[in-house]
Structure 1
């Protein structure tokens, strides 16, 4: 009896030809799919821009950001206690160099844009939203500095010759019954950007 399990050369050639045709069709389909459907893995860069909103997701806080300037050597938050001020002498969010410096009010009776900042912790997320997208930051440090210490460390906190695009958030703390004795300084590095 003849062994029928061994394919003849013509049958092997036909099978190889069919397999080759299937592979070519599959390759063409994959190329077309790549052209028609974007992979989603290509990063879209968000250009540096003026901040419009600050968000502290872990503290359920969102506040409008407005530009502010130095008055002499003092950086005062905006008059509206619900707004955050972005120092226009600092880097725009998304910049590769310098530091983005923002400040806002803490109001001992409530209603300040940064009232909850004393609850922020290392590792938490802070977002800055511009017209073109969102820059996500992660908190590296939370410091409480006296006014004297803040003045002594002004170059580190406000200087624009370092920072690599980090975010600096400043507000008052330690209400003494008539004013605030200290400042909270939060430093955060950028880890992601999301286009609008």
Structure 2
């Protein structure tokens, strides 16, 4: 993402418009929660990609409380987000640029299925929580502290920029392997179109559950 994109995307209006790619795809993918089922891709079972750890058995339900991405210096609280009347996800409030939104219509992080966490890339004056998301690398860890005190550890297997022109929500948000606990981190990316007042794409980081721990101080 260029410096021009980062500065141009800072205003409230432009940051709001940048979500259009995400919310359109999420609306299409999320239609299954309103009764219109969409078949999702994903191979059944099988070993992890070469060099990556094996998948961990999915965990029981628990809402996310915090997400940490050590390689990016991210330590962020998580808040619940829903879809609005138009079927678009509600982004985290602009007053809380360091907060990540969890779409509760998807899976809870650590449970079987795809959990979706979204965050802004910048604000009017400074970087936001997912400013560095496009620099994430395969093999990096993501830790989600859950409400029950458990810590779900995910391993990144894929970092992609999905262009709006050929956006496929099933590929962006659908499970890569059926039955796994998977996670997507999403923010704005691509190039910024001043005329349209929106970014051309979204950065989507795909990860899967590879371990579980306990938050320090939590009784077991």
Tell me the TM-score normalised to structure 1 length: 0.68
Pairwise CA distance, 1:110 = 2.3
Pairwise CA distance, 1:117 = 0.5
Which sections of structure 2, spanning at least 5 residues, go unmatched? 1-57, 216-220
Q: Could you say which residue in structure 2 is the equivalent of 1:139?
A: 156
Dislocated runs of 4+, deviation >6 Å = none
Alignment of 1:26-41 (within 5 A): none
Indicate how the Cα distance of structure 1 residues 154 and 163 shifts in structure 2: closer, same or farther if over 3 A, else same: farther
For the residue of structure 1 that corresponds to 2:64, the secondary structure is coil
Indicate how the Cα distance of structure 1 residues 62 and 181 shifts in structure 2: closer, same or farther if over 3 A, else same: same
Indicate how the Cα distance of structure 1 residues 70 and 147 shifts in structure 2: closer, same or farther if over 3 A, else same: farther
Q: Could you say which residue in structure 1 is the equivalent of 2:138?
A: 122
**Matches of 2:59 and 2:161, distance apart in 1:** 32
Aligned length: 149
Pairwise CA distance, 1:149 = 3.2
Which sections of structure 1, spanning at least 5 residues, go unmatched? 1-44
Whether 1:59 and 2:69 are equivalent positions in the alignment is no
Q: Could you say which residue in structure 2 is the equivalent of 1:149?
A: 166
Choose 1 or 2 for highest CA Rg: 1
Q: Could you say which residue in structure 2 is the equivalent of 1:75?
A: 89
Whether 1:112 and 2:125 are equivalent positions in the alignment is no
The Cα offsets for residues 121-173 of structure 1, whole Å up to 9 and x where unpaired, read as 111111111122111111000000112433xx212333479462100111001
Indicate how the Cα distance of structure 1 residues 148 and 106 shifts in structure 2: closer, same or farther if over 3 A, else same: same
For the residue of structure 2 that corresponds to 1:127, the secondary structure is strand
Tell me the TM-score normalised to structure 2 length: 0.61
CA RMSD of aligned residues (A): 2.3
Q: Could you say which residue in structure 1 is the equivalent of 2:16?
A: none
Indicate how the Cα distance of structure 1 residues 163 and 144 shifts in structure 2: closer, same or farther if over 3 A, else same: farther
**Matches of 2:134 and 2:128, distance apart in 1:** 12
The Cα offsets for residues 47-102 of structure 1, whole Å up to 9 and x where unpaired, read as 4311111111011111111010122232242112221110001111221x211111
Q: Which has the higher helix share?
A: 1
Alignment equivalent of 1:87, drawn from 82, 100, 103:
103
**Matches of 1:102 and 1:167, distance apart in 2:** 8
**Matches of 1:139 and 1:63, distance apart in 2:** 18
